[in-house]
Amino acid sequence: DAGVTQSPTHLIKTRGQHVTLRCSPISGHKSVSWYQQVLGQGPQFIFQYYEKEERGRGNFPDRFSARQFPNYSSELNVNALLLGDSALYLCASSLYSGGSETQYFGPGTRLLVL
Residues forming contacts to another protein in the complex (CB under 8 A) are 4, 31, 33, 35, 40-45, 48, 55-56, 58, 88, 90, 92, 94, 97-108, 110
Least gap, CB of 85 to another protein (angstroms):
18
Least gap, CB of 105 to another protein (angstroms):
4
**Nearest CA to 67 among 79, 52, 78, 83?**
52
Cβ-based nearer residue to another protein, 48 or 68: 48
The angle subtended at Cα 27 by Cα 54 and Cα 62, nearest 5°, is 25
Taking a C-beta distance cutoff of 8 angstroms, is the pair 94, 103 a contact? yes
Cβ-based nearer residue to another protein, 16 or 107: 107
Grouping H, G, I as helix, E, B as strand and the rest as coil, residue 53 is strand
Residue 102, H or E segment? none
Grouping H, G, I as helix, E, B as strand and the rest as coil, residue 76 is strand
Phi, psi (5° rounding) for residue 16? 90, -15
Least gap, CB of 25 to another protein (angstroms):
13
Cβ-based nearer residue to another protein, 75 or 101: 101
Least gap, CB of 80 to another protein (angstroms):
25
Cβ-based nearer residue to another protein, 35 or 85: 35
